[in-house]
Structure 1
Amino acid sequence: MPEDRAGPLLERLKQAGKVPQDAFVSTPAPGTALMPVGDTAAAAPAVVAPPPADAYLRLESVQAEPEARAALTRIRADFPEAGLWRLPDGWFAVALGPVADDAAAAWLPVLAKADMIPDDAMLARAADLGEALDAGQAPDLPAPGATEPLPPLDQVQRALRWAGHYDGQIDGKDGPRTRAAIQAEITQTRASTDPGTALRLLAERRAAWTDAQGLAPLVDAATGLTVTAPLRALTFDRAERALSIYGPKDGSGAALILFSQPGGQQELLDLAGLVTALGWVPRPDRVVKPGHATLHGANDAHIGAAEGWVRDGRAEGFVLIWPASDAETQTRLQAELSDSLTRHGPGANAGAAPTALP
């Protein structure tokens, strides 16, 4: 309220006995912000900016600069963001940062355990590193969040197989190969130090990839098998005896053979021999166990993989042929086929045409 109005108003209020007689008008200093009495709006909480990232992972220290630059080149194969520093004592250090304190503390032991950094790597501050000769860039090492539960271990193994980290048996057991594969997923993707979170993100990545590839169920009448397959890359060729054969579509270089016939272990081995003799899996590495067999091999042109089972009195499975130039997709497709192969009905095995592909 303007001062020339406040004085007369205060006198009337004194005369009416509504304010103390010693009340007076106070004029605030210029620029003072006042909050009206009775204002119920809560004051906005102060926004406190997080402290700037100032932690570094000091990976390696050497005395000579040429040796230090060679170490930087080597380390950048795994950590392209790494930088080179001249330490206050005249030595040289390769370091990774800056990152937040909690992120640095979480990632240091994880990377050391995976032998991606030396066991004697340590945390450091920028002030401790001295002069940056090549500062590098801040790495994307997220701070740890809340832990999440791991899925059942057989699902974990299947997901890690799809990612190319696990080639062991899908048995749902917590063995050293499973633990090493989980560690590989964490250290290679660097999305989270928490195994449960890392596996959830892997499952999301797999689902997105499956959608992008256009994978869909292939219902094969000749063998009675259904499998999730790369339909964009395949076209039906023929069905003969125990086989249903899909060849390349639009020059994809891919092929898929489904097989099923009555029998047991011997019939499974006979089919494995046929796959090898026809050159579908070149120079294969074979793993044969009761009721199960896998073959994997490659040449300059293609990668071949086969997997078969003895189930309900039948020897059945698949052969995947994929261009050698796209090994990552082949690994993922092989995992999708292995996880999805099921029987939807009795197989005709007499030349019946399967469901038409798009």
Structure 2
Amino acid sequence: MAGSLAAQDGQVWIQVEMLPTLGRAQLSAEGYSEQIPDDVGGFYMGSGWYAVTLGPYTSEEARAVRDNLIAEGVIPSDSVISDGAQFQQQFWPVASAGATVGASSENVTAADPVATEPPEPETFIPDETPQEAQASEAALSLGEKQQLQAALKWAGVYEGGIDGAFGPGTRAAMAAWQSQNGQNATGVLTARQRSELLGGFNAILDGLGMETVRDETAGIEIELPMGLLQQPVYEPPFARFDPQQEGGPQVLLISQPGDQNRLYGLYEIMQTLEIVPPEGARERGESAFVIEGQDAGIHSTTYAWLVDGQIKGFTLVWPAGDEDRRSRLVETMRASFRRLPGVLDPAASDPGEDQAVDLVSGLQVRKPRATATGFYVDAQGTVVTTAEAVGQCQEITLDEATTARVAVIDERLNLAVLQPQAELAPRAVASFLPGAPRIGAEVAVAGFPYGGALAQPALTFGTLADIRGLNGEDQVRRLDIATQAGDAGGPVLNEDGSVVGMLLPRESGAQVLPDNVSYALDAETIQSILAQAGVAPTTSQPVGIKAPEQLIRDAAGLTVLVSCW
């Protein structure tokens, strides 16, 4: 045995870790190599176990090095000194794969052209007995087991669910795959067989530059297509890997402290981002969520899990039309996902000069196609707005939070009645003025002239110029007021806060009104449409003139931002 020869030579090793899979042992060795470049080795120990080592040293050197590295926190405190008697094939460094302990390299010189450009070595994967295969299989993570089932399905031998549970169906599929590939059909794949199966399964990912990324800052380890991605930019709660080329894929690693409330908040925030299109399945549980988003340009997938007060996960944004590679990559990322100690510090990011209200951690917030104003007309959250604002929308939201549907639309009057798809409890509802308002009375229009940039509606003051339009139209009121396009659909309030109408767009068809001239659909017409829709409008009672501050407070509860997506 190689280890026995080493022991006779008086050499010993510091054994820092024992790991049950080759992949994990290689990652561990790579990690130690970054801190101790020249001393790290790795050896197969038999029975499906792999040792990560430092050395070789003399016994005296090994004790001194071990004590110093433990004191510095570089290696675990339970690291032991080994004579290498159990070491078999060497798997690390990779260039030494298949070599024995203590193999000489004295015949290789700098002048040797073969030595300067060695052939790419093959990673050593040992044969395993059925018992060793069972032991190494038991050490696989749930994601790795699910990936094996996905690979068996791809190979055409498995039809069951991808649940990571190796029941009779999975065992039969493993045996069938072994038979097809000239192996003994035991129903338990050895490490070498698993590698062969997954190698074929993941061949579609060739050319993506797949690498295992160990991000100590985010506390995540995962396989990523680094051949297509830039190095990460940290803007909590994301480590953002932007595309190398415009239109290429993008990856987010999610990392933040939190509880269930923060998990639920992240679930809502993710769906406001441009990289998460609104169409797609969503599922949220008590400690995890998954979001799919797909449109003509991209397909994004987000997973997030809450474990021990830390929320971690990832998002893959992939160009549309490449579903085979995208789905395979998502499976690979999920199977390889590992939680490391630590999370991104929410306070660590410098806001910088390029921050903007429509950005979240450097990511563009999804913007509606258009916005308008509406106002609540009953306690169930029914909203009145313009037909023009909602006529061509795929989705309508109220205050960018609640989805609504069009219950009634009258294009001739430019009026739409919206009903929320979830329960709402408005702070205030419209009280309509009975009869006609007084010409020359002061009025105010509540609206969102800047879309969602302001959290509260703005109030614009003017006067009622006439109770008819310029051409004598008796269903509109003419206002002397300077409004903006986003105000359309907002309530026109009388001096006592009662609603005298709904502001109409200033440009309608071929008619363009002069500056400071606006029309409002009158209260009587609005109430008639509401009654036909089964909504009972409220009529105001005389309360006297209100101060502007009180009108502003009333308008804040009554007025709603209507977004068309």
* TM-score category (smaller protein): 0.3 to 0.5
Structure scoring higher RCO (CA < 8 A, sep ≥ 6) equals 1
